[in-house]
Amino acid sequence: MVINTKFNTNFPDFINSYRVQYALNLLAVIEEKNLTIESIAYESGFSNRTSFYNAFKKQTGKLPSEYIKKRGSNA
């Protein structure tokens, strides 16, 4: 209830925002560390790829693969 009021979001979305932020940090080094999107999903605390994709898209507006492509074209 406090999270709903103070942060204007529900608890799962609140937690997922931190998980997605962590995933964004890992995506920045995906090639250097030889990571996969699925391993990043699990490392970030998601129980499956679908949950990760849904939360990632909800927060960033892109799928992880789209984010990586866009990031690569801006480098």
The average pLDDT across 5-13 equals 84
CATH of residue 49's domain is 1.10.10.60
Tell the residue number behind the tokens 């801006």, with chain if given: 74
Give residues with Cβ within 8 angstroms of 12, minimum separation 6: none
The residue range of the domain holding 39 is 2-74
- Average per-residue pLDDT in the chain? 91
**Total domain count for the chain?**
1
Q: Which helix (H) or strand (E) segment is 50 a member of?
A: helix 49-60
The average pLDDT across 30-37 equals 91
pLDDT the model gives residue 1:
67
Assign 74 a pLDDT band (cuts: 50, 70, 90). low
Q: What distances in angstroms separate CA 61 from CA 5, 28, 47, 48, one per listed residue? A: 24, 17, 21, 19
